[in-house]
Chain A
Amino acid sequence: MEVFSENLDLLARMMTVSTRRHEVISANLANANTPNYTAKKLDFETAFREAYASNGKEAAMKVDYELVDSNAEAGADGNNVDLETEFSTMQKNRLLFDVYAQMLKHKLGHLKHAIGGLR
């Protein structure tokens, strides 16, 4: 039996992706007043879902996130950062991060429980 295979690696990966996404959003917010800046979005889920559906988990785990330019309308200074969008994405991302962290914590708790039971 593989003790640590229970999607622990996937949850850890999702936490990393969440962290990276937060960094991208932070960069968009930091550049909210930079002329000609194009807002970036981090996409992982689309590629992951496709790889998972066609080639299974092994292949999906190798999928990397990618940066996509936002196609929102640019203002007079050529900057298309939309604060409301960034904030809602940031909050959503934060909640997802908490979900992954809690799930990981629970899974680790189960393992600890099982290990303790041997004594």
Chain B
Amino acid sequence: MDLDRMFSGMSVSSSGMAAERRRLDVIARNIANANVVATPGGEPYRRQNVVFETILGELGGDGLPGGVRVKDTLTDHETPMNEVFDPKHPMANEEGIVAYPNVNMAFEMVDMMTSARSYEANMKAMKLYKDMMSQALTLLER
């Protein structure tokens, strides 16, 4: 086993951790903007979502699955906006309805928990890999 292969297991786990952190960033952005009715473009904020994709072979070599990365950050145009009747609001339309972002707190919380747990799982895998490699290194002791 050559020496840079020794750390490929760690790159797989760290790619997972990086991707989960990116997802947490987007969730945090959704929660922070949950009540933003006017973004710089004038539109209310729309929920964003990350899509993951598998990296094949680049980190692990030999065609082993090599980890994960964020393929794209998508804006959710499907979910309808949260319409609230508030005629006195400056952003209200002729019917007195204000369009609030399509961010659903329950969904964001669940996504946040999944993401945090996955981050933890990747961290455990990395720790175990490190333990295995230190075990292998004890073979060099006299």
Contact = CB atoms under 8 A, between A and B. Distances in A.
Interface residues of B, number: 38
B1 interface: yes
B114 interface: yes
Grouping DSSP codes into helix (H, G, I), strand (E, B) and loop, the B interface class, with mixed when no group exceeds half, is: helix
Grouping DSSP codes into helix (H, G, I), strand (E, B) and loop, the A interface class, with mixed when no group exceeds half, is: helix
A80 interface: no
A31 B68 contact: yes
A29 B125 contact: yes
A94 B128 contact: yes
B113 interface: no
Interface residues of A, number: 34
A22 B51 CA distance: 25
A35 B51 contact: yes
Interface of A: 15-16, 18-20, 22-35, 37, 40, 67, 83, 86-87, 90-91, 94, 97-98, 101, 104-105, 108
